[in-house]
Amino acid sequence: MQKILECSFVYRFFAALFSWLGAQWRKSRIISRFLSQSYGNAASENVLLLRIRLFFHRWLCIIFEKIRLNKLLRGSIFTMPFIWGFATIALAPILPTMAVLCLTIINIVTIALAFGCDLERKPAYSPANKYILLFAFVYLVATLSSITVSGSLFGGALTTLFILCAIVIQNSATTRRQLNMLVCALVISGTAVSLYGLYQYLFGTFNASGWVDSTMFSGIGVRVYSTLDNPNTLSMYLLLVIPFAGACILNAKKILPRIFFIGCLCVMLICMLLTFARGGWLGLIIAAAIFLVLLDRRFILAGIVGIVLLYFMLPDFILDRFLSIGNVSDSSTSYRVSIWLGTIAMLRDYWFAGIGPGTEAFNKVYPLYSYNTAFSLHSHNLYLQLICDAGVCGILGFFMILFAYFRNLCVSVVQSNGYISRLSSGNSLPAALSQESRAMETARHSKILQIAAISSVIGFLVQSATDHSFYNYRVTLVFWAVIGLGLLAARRERLAP
């Protein structure tokens, strides 16, 4: 069947068209500059930020040696940040916020102790790290300059700490095996959360129908929220995890692990469907499209056919729910539009510095600008909320992180593709074939993880246009942990086995 399809005129026409469009896209000046091969290489010793880190690292080791703390701690669990990074990623959506905060603090302290005990340990470097530090600093300043410092202090400090988790996760894993284990922890944790969501759907749960406009969607009885208190929040979390489940399936070397991860993916997809979060569904479609197209351009045609088939195959109540995106007759949509209008009116006066993070700061000012007296604890839009929290500097800092993140990963995908092509076309001696085979496998696995990291964050950002994604602090932590995993995946081939 596949050979018949590939020999057809329609297939060859579209394959040639998409190949030509892709070549023109890659040759454009903007994309060529964006994918500059020099970007993302290891920092040289004359980089100011690296010199500062090395200076503090040396002095930290000297202090530890003077007080003999290195001998006391060497080999203990408190100098093994991987264990605490693993626990943080695995338990973030399950434990209460304060317990997750304690795990994060322990992880930070463990990394400091590990560096203090080992002068040879090198800090993880990524071009995005300087923007992450800058964004954390801006957010902390916004917290301390809030219109209500007492109301913003806890939430602002917590968010600042979780932002730094992107750098913490990068320093938690030093080998490819550890990175793979962190990704597996993320996927298995997402599966556990989804299984609890399925339990809620099958056996009922308190207030599960409170998020549905029953006049428009009478066929929807329950929207699951699992451990994350809100169906939309659950869908945001699953958007971050699902692409990594796809990567685990493709990277699995044996049939049993592959079957296991296929099961994990199916459970999470069913749970995503049962959240009935339209923004989440849209984010998932876009994330899946990006994942498949980056994996192989031939999936473009398959994706078009798949979307057409879904229109005829999906149940009416699901299709009606999805097609209601943008319908202001829906109470949820009209409510969000009113909040956005009120928030934009507020930001005309507070766009530069914002009002400070947290619901208390928001509700001190927002009611004065509310449209149609729509009450809300936040702006229901991540980008508007970042301006509310930290002003124009906050949103610019966030976009700088995203730009560096996507550029770093896209460059790595291009490099992995080039490396795979060179190895595939090489005429090596038999003795070198096994070594080249391992190198090609490493490059292929790295590419798949990099693609998952790209599509994961893009799907999350799509839904963020309709929700304040950082309202739930545990989802905030998982987002920054995924940023850290993505930046680790970008240099996966340079990690030790």
Give the chain's domain count. Answer: 1
pLDDT, tens digit (0-9, with 9 covering 90-100), for 40-59: 444 444 456 667 777 787 88
Domain that residue 293 falls in: 127-198+232-424+439-497
pLDDT, tens digit (0-9, with 9 covering 90-100), for 172-183: 988 999 999 999
368 lies in a domain? Answer: yes
DSSP 372-414: TT---SS-S-HHHHHHHHHHHHHHHHHHHHHHHHHHHHHHHHH
Residue 101 CB contacts under 8 Å (≥ 6 apart), including other chains: 158, 161
Spatial distance between the Cα atoms of 409 and 411, rounded to a whole number of angstroms: 5
pLDDT, tens digit (0-9, with 9 covering 90-100), for 348-359: 888 888 898 988
309 lies in a domain? Answer: yes
DSSP state for residue 218 in the 8-state scheme: T
* DSSP-H helix ranges across 38-173: 48-66, 69-73, 81-91, 97-117, 129-144, 149-163, 165-170
Q: Report the predicted TM-score, pTM, of the whole model to 2 decimal places.
A: 0.86
11 lies in a domain? Answer: no
278 lies in a domain? Answer: yes
Spatial distance between the Cα atoms of 193 and 161, rounded to a whole number of angstroms: 24
Q: How many CA atoms lie within 13 A of 200 on its CB side?
A: 27
Q: Residue 40 pairs with which residues in a beta bridge?
A: none
259 lies in a domain? Answer: yes
Quick count: other Cβ atoms within 10 Å of Cβ 82? 22
Residue 375, pLDDT above cutoff 50: yes
49 lies in a domain? Answer: no
Spatial distance between the Cα atoms of 491 and 42, rounded to a whole number of angstroms: 9
Classify the phi-psi angles of 44: left when phi > 0, otherwise alpha if psi is within -120 to 50, otherwise beta.
beta
Residue 211 CA, chain-centre distance (Å), reads: 25
Spatial CA neighbour of 114 closest among 61, 46, 184: 61
b/e string for 165-192 if b means 16 or more Cβ within 10 A? bbbbbbbbbbebebbbbbbbbbbbbbbb
Q: What angle (nearest 5°) sits at the alpha carbon of residue 49, between those of residues 89 and 393?
A: 70
pLDDT, tens digit (0-9, with 9 covering 90-100), for 62-79: 887 788 777 777 777 888
Q: What are phi and psi for residue 175, nearest 5 degrees? A: -135, 165
220 token code pair? 């929807």
Spatial distance between the Cα atoms of 432 and 428, rounded to a whole number of angstroms: 6
Categorize the per-residue pLDDT at 119 as very low, low, confident or very high, splitting at 50, 70 and 90: confident
206 lies in a domain? Answer: no
Spatial distance between the Cα atoms of 248 and 257, rounded to a whole number of angstroms: 9
152 token code pair? 């913003």
134 token code pair? 């800058």
Q: What are phi and psi for residue 249, nearest 5 degrees? A: -65, -45
373 lies in a domain? Answer: yes
CB-based contact 256:249 (threshold 8 Å): no
Give mean pLDDT, residues 25-51. Answer: 54
High-pLDDT (> 70) share of the chain, %: 76
CB-based contact 327:363 (threshold 8 Å): no
